[in-house]
Structure 1
Amino acid sequence: MSLAHIHSSRPNFTPLALAEPPVAPAPRIRAVPSGTEARGFVLYVGIDEAKAAAAGTNLNRIVEALKALAAELAPTAETYAAVALAPQGAGGRDVDVVRLALQDPAALAAHRTEADEPVSERSGVVVDLSRKRVVLDNETAALTYKEFELLQYLVLREGRTIERAEIISALWNAADEDEAPNERTIDVHVRRLRAKLGRYEDIVRTVRGAGYRFDRHADVSIQQAQTPSSDRF
């Protein structure tokens, strides 16, 4: 029998394709109530600048590394970072400070401080960073969210002149306004803020040719207590 005959007499054989293992559905997050869906998550990182420096890094590098990791794992993921600010020397674990600053409901419910009590009655200005409000002669000023954010940004940098470009970069996103914000935008918001501060308008001072500065005087107090404030990273 020829070799060709032997080959031609072999039965046809088609390799079977290996079946792909079934993909298990993603486990449901137990904290998500029925009828809702998870749209993201918050990761609280507790570390101050000194601890970051001791580890050979800084807060900005940590933030950028986490953003890069999220982009690598899920390219369509959107990220937002904020830095938690607290008075110098304030006690408590760093991660608890961060949770309170970013208004974590569980942390707020478990934490009761003097900042949760009514502001003491007194004349003058009380800038209550913990509760995001300004009290003028015992009356709460009707500041908008953006007006308070502007005042808070200046207060947390007390004594330093802040250029308009820095304020725009820190407090405005492209989607915040119908048109891109510019220096005129800042001037308009400062003018509105001063109008609502009334006779205390001089705490927001114009530094000609430079920008704006928060000037504290005897009638002004800043209230933070143990509850910190948050500021955009």
Structure 2
Amino acid sequence: MTITDIAAPLATRTRTRRPSREQPATHGSSALAPEAAPRIRPTAPATAGPAAASPVRAVPEGTEARGFVLYVGLGEGAATADRIELARLVGELRALTSRLAPSAQTHAAVALAPAGSGGRDVDVVRRALGDPAVQQAPAPEPDAGIVIDLTRKRVALGDDIAPLTYREFELLQHIVLREGTTVGRCEIIDALWDADADDRPNERTIDVHVRRLRAKLGGYAEIIRTVRGAGYRFDRHADVTVLASGPSPDRF
């Protein structure tokens, strides 16, 4: 008997060996496949009615949304406290917009306000940039200024007439007619009072007359400017009007 004759029956028995009860028989590669998960039958989405609700439009019919405005209220002091510059914040917001919406176009504008003005920063920004949803403060009425009417011998402060006395208007008129020239106290006394007048004042009294005149001119008192050690000068402003139909006498 040869080795081949002995090996053949062993090989045959090995090929026909029945599987053990601990390891059930498998077919093909199914032994490596994971256990199949139970199948879940899909359910139809729930609906509130026979038809799905249409989306709500944010704009009136016949129009289309073309973009939006984001008002950022951040004063220079707050930006410094947050350790960021406005230019950098604008740049980062633009970069974020470009990443999220490459087709978006951006424009940045800085709102300026007088230093020390109150109010919330965002409200100041909205008002400065013309947000129609913000109630705009009514524009102040233009100041009518002061009108010195030499012909009618009166001074108008807007719609009101200044209650000047005869002597006070004379004093004002004398200084106004010499615009750009400093008028001395002695010159005023000689021009407006007779040399032998009982009420002829001294230089100190002229200062009292000027003080009373200024009080009646209200917010325009500074048109009569004091020149220290010399006298007084008429200081014309943009809101000062002098009316005269031809040369006006110094006295009337």
TM band (smaller chain): 0.3 to 0.5
* Higher helix proportion: 1
* Higher strand proportion: 1
What is the TM-score with the length of structure 2 in the denominator? 0.41
Q: Which protein has greater RCO, CA pairs closer than 8 Å, 6+ apart? A: 1
What is the TM-score with the length of structure 1 in the denominator? 0.45
